[in-house]
Chains A and B, each alone.
Chain A
Amino acid sequence: MEKAPLLEMRNIRKDFFGNQVLEDINLTLREGEVIGLVGENGAGKSTLMKILFGADVIRETGGYGGEIILNSEKVSFNSPFEAIEKGIGMVHQEFSLIPGFAATENILLNRESKKKSVLSELFSDRMDTLDRKEMDKRADEAIRKMGVNIDQDMRISDMPVGHKQFTEIARELSKEQLKLLILDEPTAVLTEKEAEALLESIRGMAKRGIAVIFITHRLGEILAVCDRVVTMRDGRVVNEVNAKDTSVAEITKWMVGRDVGAGSASYVTEDTGKDKRIILSIDKLWVDMPGETVRNVKLDVREGEILGIGGLAGQGKLGIPNGVMGLYPAGGKVTFNGEEIPLNNPRKCLDASFAFVSEDRRGVGLLLDESLEWNIAFPAMQVQNKFLKLYLGGLIKWRDDKAIKEITSKYIDELAIKCTSTTQKAKELSGGNQQKVCLAKAFALEPKLLFVSEPTRGIDVGAKALVLDALKKFNKEKGVTVVMVSSELEELRQTCDRIAIISGGKVAGILPSGEKLEKFGELMLKNC
């Protein structure tokens, strides 16, 4: 008779305010087994792991459905600390380390070895002194368990990024009760050699009986180290297979493979604009945007086209418009209409008649406490002196409220913005309508080049279609060149002429939007 599995997740369901993100997930995991969890961004991997780890956000949004059985015992964690107590460890994508502490101190953070002192009797055990020797021993043990050597006295801030990752893993391994380790894209920041060492250490852990859930976009690694591969798409497990019976190509297909063919008639299948003039040329661009680093990007945009920029989250696609528009430190060369545009200077970009609809709608996009009139007219007023009455040869500028009201009404009609009046405050609108205001704001600038970043993030299907149609119409009628960044490949394919896929901060390739889905999938995973 086989031993009961270590972990069993049965019929896990989760919705965020009616938006179903996980449906009927079943997952079993035995002691010492390594499973690979793959899927596009938004497939539900992270949410599933958050449920397992008892993340606060799950409880705050109404909990989950289904049950989790750990060691033949039904569990439901209210906080990550409970999950840790039961032997689950998780290494997150973002480092959770104290920069000024040595590796040892980080590995044993808040679990330090202590010696009694006089005052600890008087006050609390927080007055115990630290037992450095014992700590060194325990940290050393954990590092040896991991099988990758790191300097345990080195401060985190002096470490190369790979060693930070290993410190995190060692911290999990130093917990004696650890039975299940979740690794969320641990190799994303590692060099090839370090990644190889990590895979070796995962094998070692499995031999010791620790089960591992390994999440990564590098499918080769999954095949190299996992026993089973679970593929998720749109909140469901679409496939579960033994690693040795499959291939990278097959997994890629499961990951992206929606109902291919449906509605493909409207796609632009051929690269028709080869002879068009290059209006914007980006060369050797780097952008230091946290979490969306761009490295050495070369990209040409043709006059009058809609260029899509796609790719997985964190690969740098958002960094491109933000860097060009000067919102994050950037370097390189950007030429527009034969003229070089200086970087790190938003005003110069606006003067060159660029416009940008930011993905950060509430932070960058809108003046939340101001009226729609102000929101729509403000940039045009500031940048182009529109909607102003000039007196004394321009010495005195007065706002032209009538013209502002007019233009606002025009865009409210055109984009079907649902609002009570032109003076309603921007923060009172719904997400979709706020997005339309952002677009109207950019349209009012009458730009020659429009950057749109994640235009449909967090808005409902109806509003989505409207926003995309408005963009297409704007492009066609005014001949404005549009560069659109989106995480949703499907949306890019329906809207754009060409799609550039960004992976690992670089352009992995540019395809006409009618190209096969698998091709896009390959590019997405190319450098990550």
Chain B
Amino acid sequence: MSKNSLGDYLRRFSVPIMFVIICVICAPISGLSPSYLINEIVTRMGRNAFLILSLLIPIMAGMGLNFSMTLGAMAGEIGLILVCDWQIVSIPGMVLAMIISIPISALLGLFCGKVLNMAKGREMITSYIISFFINGIYQLIVLYLMGPVIPIKHSTIKLPRGYGVRNTVSLLSMRQKLDNLIPLTIAGVKIPVATFLVVFVLCLVIIWFRKTKLGQDMRAVGQDMEVARDAGINVERTRIISMVLSTVLAGIGMIIYLQNMGNIATYSSHSQIGMFCIAALLVGGASVDKASIGNVFLGIVLFHTMFIVAPKAGTVITGDSMIGEYFRVFVSYAVITVALIMYETNKRKNKSKESQQLALEQENANG
């Protein structure tokens, strides 16, 4: 079974191939200039890469797509809101926001990991529901506790009623400060060098991490928990560590994401981010149990090209820009659904392969 036929490859990469086709068809229709398109993709690459990379570790540990990366995103937002109120600007503000977010994400990751250890084999649905639950707590903190309990001074952040945070928090003071730290423009394309450097370092860390004892343990746990346990690996602890790491990275990723956007939609920024990141990763050819750094970057290029060109193409064709908006949301959910179905059918197919093997053996025996 080591030889894969062309059909197997096509099936494995069916989602990326589908997206290449969509992009190739939509790009000329949209009438967007190539330089605009490249600019947009480069920007989004810097904006999203860190967030999506945070998904890799739980996949390695066999915990599937980490829908609860939203938890880290919320921690990042809390950090940013506080830093904004303290009027610490630019890069130091971002760093401080990250420092604040790390213990919060670590705690949330610990909680999430413990819950997921109780729900082995159902990690994805559990982490999805946990993200809703924690969203409730986040709203409680941001809407009611910020003001009376956690001091918020500035009226640009506080709701007029005296407590709670406004719908939008402006991050003008740190908008694209990281992106523009090292200015570089090549052929009209603005390149966020510093952001890319941070992403690059994270990639190196992930590659290095795979070679560590902990990384090896995670891969072992991901493939067979029982065997790993028999060999003396602390399965539960390893899984918790992977969740903590992923959540912390997601928190930092969210801060990088928001500095590029330039404002926080306090009550909605995080809610879709998990879905879009997971969809992008899957579009890059990852599956529930296998994902690489290459998948991340291919995914960002394809998914966001679609994001940019589809609404425009929709407007050109139908004269209605809403159709494109609808399309991008619809496609993200569709991609995730397809990936989950493919994961299940592959599992089933491998099982029936064993049966076929048995039938074949017997035919040979009977001559």
Contact B232 A81 (CB under 8 A): yes
Contact B355 A127 (CB under 8 A): no
Contact B355 A288 (CB under 8 A): yes
Contact B214 A127 (CB under 8 A): yes
Q: B72 CB to closest chain A CB, in angstroms? A: 19
Is B227 in the interface zone, CB < 8 Å from A? yes
Residues of B contacting A129 in the complex (Cβ-Cβ under 8 angstroms): 208, 211-213
Contact A295 B2 (CB under 8 A): no
Is B217 in the interface zone, CB < 8 Å from A? yes
Q: In the assembly, what is the distance between CA of A130 and CA of B215, in Å?
A: 9
Is B365 in the interface zone, CB < 8 Å from A? yes
Known: A284-B362, A296-B362. A128 touches B212 (CB 8 A): yes
Known: A284-B362, A295-B362. A109 touches B231 (CB 8 A): yes
Residues of A contacting B228 in the complex (Cβ-Cβ under 8 angstroms): 98, 109-110
What 1/0 flags go to A275-296 for Cβ under 8 Å of B?
0000000001010100001011
Residues of B contacting A127 in the complex (Cβ-Cβ under 8 angstroms): 212-214
Contact A98 B227 (CB under 8 A): yes
Q: In the assembly, what is the distance between CA of A97 and CA of B227, in Å?
A: 6
Is A191 in the interface zone, CB < 8 Å from B? no
Is B30 in the interface zone, CB < 8 Å from A? no
Which of B103-111, B218-226, B279-287, B298-306 is near enough to bind chain A? B218-226
Q: Max chain A CB contacts within 10 Å: which of B219, B223, B231, B365? A: B231
What 1/0 flags go to A135-169 for Cβ under 8 Å of B?
00000000000000000000001100000000000
Is A273 in the interface zone, CB < 8 Å from B? no
Q: Max chain A CB contacts within 10 Å: which of B208, B214, B354, B366? A: B214
Known: A98-B223, A110-B233. A126 touches B354 (CB 8 A): no
Contact pick for B219, options A101, A125, A295, CB 8 Å: A101
Report how many residues on chain A are interfacial, defined by Cβ distance under 8 Å.
31
Residues of B contacting A126 in the complex (Cβ-Cβ under 8 angstroms): 212-214, 217
Q: A184 CB to closest chain B CB, in angstroms? A: 14
Q: In the assembly, what is the distance between CA of A125 and CA of B217, in Å?
A: 12
Contact A117 B355 (CB under 8 A): no
| A/B pair count, beta carbons within 8 Å | 81
Name the residue of chain B whose CB is nearest to the CB of A285.
B362
Is A331 in the interface zone, CB < 8 Å from B? yes
Is A257 in the interface zone, CB < 8 Å from B? no
Is A105 in the interface zone, CB < 8 Å from B? yes
Residues of A contacting B1 in the complex (Cβ-Cβ under 8 angstroms): 157-158
What 1/0 flags go to B173-203 for Cβ under 8 Å of A?
0000000000000000000000000000000
Is B352 in the interface zone, CB < 8 Å from A? yes
Q: In the assembly, what is the distance between CA of A130 and CA of B233, in Å?
A: 15
Name the residue of chain A whose CB is nearest to the CB of B359.
A331
Q: A83 CB to closest chain B CB, in angstroms? A: 12
Q: In the assembly, what is the distance between CA of A293 and CA of B362, in Å?
A: 12
Contact pick for B220, options A81, A109, A128, A288, CB 8 Å: A109
Residues of A contacting B223 in the complex (Cβ-Cβ under 8 angstroms): 98-101
Known: A98-B224, A109-B220. A117 touches B362 (CB 8 A): no
Is B216 in the interface zone, CB < 8 Å from A? yes
Residues of B contacting A117 in the complex (Cβ-Cβ under 8 angstroms): 212
Q: In the assembly, what is the distance between CA of A114 and CA of B213, in Å?
A: 7
Is B358 in the interface zone, CB < 8 Å from A? yes
In A37-86, the 8 Å CB interface with B consists of 80-81
Contact pick for B358, options A110, A112, A128, A286, CB 8 Å: A286
Q: For this complex, into which size category does the number of interface residues on chain B fall?
A: 20 to 34
Residues of A contacting B212 in the complex (Cβ-Cβ under 8 angstroms): 117, 126-130
Is A329 in the interface zone, CB < 8 Å from B? yes
Name the residue of chain B whose CB is nearest to the CB of A109.
B231
Name the residue of chain A whose CB is nearest to the CB of B2.
A158
Contact A286 B362 (CB under 8 A): yes
Is B230 in the interface zone, CB < 8 Å from A? yes
What 1/0 flags go to A258-286 for Cβ under 8 Å of B?
00000000000000000000000000101
Is A93 in the interface zone, CB < 8 Å from B? no
Contact A329 B366 (CB under 8 A): no
Name the residue of chain A whose CB is nearest to the CB of B241.
A126
Contact B220 A295 (CB under 8 A): no
Q: In the assembly, what is the distance between CA of A81 and CA of B211, in Å?
A: 25
Is A20 in the interface zone, CB < 8 Å from B? no
Known: A126-B212, A126-B213. A296 touches B365 (CB 8 A): yes
User: Interface majority SS on B: helix, strand, loop or mixed?
Assistant: helix
Residues of B contacting A110 in the complex (Cβ-Cβ under 8 angstroms): 217, 220, 228, 231-233
What 1/0 flags go to B301-316 for Cβ under 8 Å of A?
0000000000000000
Is B320 in the interface zone, CB < 8 Å from A? no
Contact A288 B358 (CB under 8 A): yes
Name the residue of chain A whose CB is nearest to the CB of B1.
A158
Contact A296 B213 (CB under 8 A): no
Contact B354 A288 (CB under 8 A): yes
Name the residue of chain A whose CB is nearest to the CB of B350.
A157
Is A96 in the interface zone, CB < 8 Å from B? yes
Contact pick for B355, options A99, A157, A296, A329, CB 8 Å: A329
Contact B213 A100 (CB under 8 A): no
Q: In the assembly, what is the distance between CA of A279 and CA of B314, in Å?
A: 68
Q: B361 CB to closest chain A CB, in angstroms? A: 7
Residues of B contacting A286 in the complex (Cβ-Cβ under 8 angstroms): 358-359, 362
Residues of A contacting B211 in the complex (Cβ-Cβ under 8 angstroms): 129-130
Q: B77 CB to closest chain A CB, in angstroms? A: 27
Q: In the assembly, what is the distance between CA of A30 and CA of B184, in Å?
A: 76
Contact B365 A295 (CB under 8 A): yes
Name the residue of chain A whose CB is nearest to the CB of B354.
A288
Q: B227 CB to closest chain A CB, in angstroms? A: 5
Residues of B contacting A284 in the complex (Cβ-Cβ under 8 angstroms): 362, 366
Residues of B contacting A80 in the complex (Cβ-Cβ under 8 angstroms): 230
Q: In the assembly, what is the distance between CA of A453 and CA of B230, in Å?
A: 32
Q: A416 CB to closest chain B CB, in angstroms? A: 41
Q: In the assembly, what is the distance between CA of A83 and CA of B256, in Å?
A: 51
Q: In the assembly, what is the distance between CA of A55 and CA of B70, in Å?
A: 42
Q: In the assembly, what is the distance between CA of A130 and CA of B210, in Å?
A: 9
Q: In the assembly, what is the distance between CA of A130 and CA of B212, in Å?
A: 6
Residues of A contacting B231 in the complex (Cβ-Cβ under 8 angstroms): 96, 109-111
Name the residue of chain A whose CB is nearest to the CB of B233.
A110
Q: B214 CB to closest chain A CB, in angstroms? A: 4
Q: B217 CB to closest chain A CB, in angstroms? A: 7
Q: In the assembly, what is the distance between CA of A235 and CA of B217, in Å?
A: 40
Q: A296 CB to closest chain B CB, in angstroms? A: 5
Q: In the assembly, what is the distance between CA of A111 and CA of B217, in Å?
A: 11
Residues of A contacting B365 in the complex (Cβ-Cβ under 8 angstroms): 295-296
Q: B30 CB to closest chain A CB, in angstroms? A: 42
Can you pick out 23 interface pairs between chain A and chain B where the beta carbons lie within 8 Å of each other?
A81-B232, A98-B224, A98-B228, A99-B223, A100-B223, A105-B216, A109-B220, A109-B231, A110-B220, A112-B216, A126-B212, A127-B212, A127-B213, A127-B214, A130-B211, A130-B216, A288-B354, A293-B358, A295-B358, A295-B362, A295-B365, A296-B366, A329-B352
Nearest 10 pairs of A and B residues by beta carbon:
A126-B214, A110-B231, A329-B355, A288-B355, A109-B231, A98-B223, A126-B213, A331-B359, A110-B232, A129-B211
For the A-B complex with A81-B232, A99-B224, A295-B362 known, give 9 more contacts whose Cβ atoms are closer than 8 Å: A80-B230, A100-B223, A109-B231, A110-B232, A112-B213, A284-B362, A329-B352, A329-B355, A331-B355
